[in-house]
Amino acid sequence: MTIKEFAYATQRHLQAKTGSPFKRAHVYELLAAVFGFDSYAALGCTAVFAPRRPGARQSSQCSPLIRKRCIALGYPPATADAAAAELPGFVAQHPLDVVRLSDLVATLRDGSWRWGGDQYWDEPDDDGDEMPTPTWSVLDGEEVSTILMDGLRSAASKGNALAHYALALIHAPSADEDDEHEVGSPYWYSQEQQGRVFTGVEKEWADAHAQYLRTAELYALHLREAARLGNDDALLDLAERFNDPAFFEKPSGPSWKTPPRSPSGWGAGRMRSDGSPLPPKRAIPRPCASSSRTIVAMIYSNAGCGCISRGLLGPT
């Protein structure tokens, strides 16, 4: 089910239970209120819809916010009361949740979600401390959730760097590039592109490689867009994956524009409030980018990605 389909089902349920018409746009606003957001726009800036884990409970403390939002949207108090009473229970019957983009990116970078590890409750730590477990999941069954992908694409289309980076991580190639089931066969793919018609195993290998190329293209597209929008993790990934030095060329720290010098010193001619001249100021040195380059070089050197040996850093 997509979020549009769920919003439509929610709209019909509210209208049937309250006897009042609801605009579809208002339904999105009320769904945002169910998850504690003041508006759908506020949800879209920092979070997206996602499937709820099996066994996870939906919060039941949202009714006052739903009623408040209904009143703000112009519905009568009686309709607002009915919607606040009906909507939480309806949403709880469906595996719907929200995830903040920052939390989603952290999970995607971990990588265990690919094997469904994020769909189940974690065991307590050895010391007895039980870490809070997210109520949401990346996967819906064995596939990435349609609702999650719809939300990410929508946020990315509005210039959200974290959404682009999350999409890049979802489409990232497997760490095991020798996995033939994922990569397929470049040979059979190239033969198919030249007009040969295949069936059976050859067709499966060719299709697998075509899918691999499409996924790799989406990965590069979203990674570069996230980097263009200023996401530091995406810039680092570009440096590692594509030898792109954009991260190291990014200005670090504050940048000051040096005023033109005069014969009597930098800043000469400045006046106090009473009209008397101020003495010239000593020039403030610009921040040096070499220190940040050195730090990043150390990180990459320790990670064994070979950025230094490839000359990404340039002269420091």
Look-up of token digits 């995607």: 108
Q: In terms of Cα–Cα distance, which of 70, 84, 65 is closest to 23?
A: 70
pLDDT score recorded for residue 116 = 55
Predicted TM-score (pTM) of this structure: 0.69
**Alpha carbon separation from 112 to 44, 116, 137, 174 (Å, rounded):** 26, 7, 11, 12
pLDDT score recorded for residue 10 = 97
pLDDT score recorded for residue 248 = 67
pLDDT score recorded for residue 154 = 94
**Residues of the chain falling short of pLDDT 50:** 118-131, 253-273, 278, 280-316
pLDDT score recorded for residue 254 = 36
3-state DSSP helix/strand/coil % of the chain, to nearest 5:
55, 5, 40
Number of helical H runs and strand E runs in the chain: 14, 4
Q: How would you class 240 by CB atoms within 10 Å of its CB: exposed for 0-12, middle for 13-18, buried for 19 or more?
A: middle
Q: In terms of Cα–Cα distance, which of 108, 131, 140, 110 is closest to 3?
A: 140
**Alpha carbon separation from 225 to 18, 167, 211, 220, 308 (Å, rounded):** 44, 10, 21, 8, 25
E strand or H helix at 240: helix 232-242
φ/ψ of residue 266, rounded to 5: -70, 130
Residue 112: CA atoms inside 13 Å, Cβ hemisphere, count?
A: 9
- What does the block give as tokens for 182? 């994922």
pLDDT score recorded for residue 293 = 38
pLDDT score recorded for residue 277 = 52
Look-up of token digits 């200005």: 251
pLDDT score recorded for residue 161 = 96
